[in-house]
Amino acid sequence: MRDYGFDFCWADKFKTNLFARGFEWQDSLPVDAITSFEAIEHFVNPMTEIDTLLKVSKTLVFSTELLPSPLPKPGQWWYFGLEHG
């Protein structure tokens, strides 16, 4: 997003920053919006996590892939990561 002129910072409590070094978010920085793409479906307690995010910014932008019906078998849907989990 920074390549397109947006002032984005990186934050992920579960991963090491490999690609956005120097752009780590500090909790003292103001935030207009929080983005989360293809991640919210992995939250253990989604409402608790969303409440935490809303304390940082009142604007949340996220996307997720809904499960198709009927659910495809492994190997029939790109979302299943059989090689990596």
Contacts of 26 (CB under 8 A, 6+ apart): 9
Q: What is the pLDDT of residues 3-59, one digit of tens each?
A: 999 999 999 988 899 999 999 999 888 899 999 988 888 899 999 999 999 999 999
- Rounded to two decimals, what is the model's pTM? 0.75
What local confidence, expressed as pLDDT, does residue 18 receive? 94
Q: Look at the block and give the residue holding tokens 């780590």.
A: 24
Q: If pLDDT is split at 50, 70 and 90, which confidence band does 85 have?
A: low
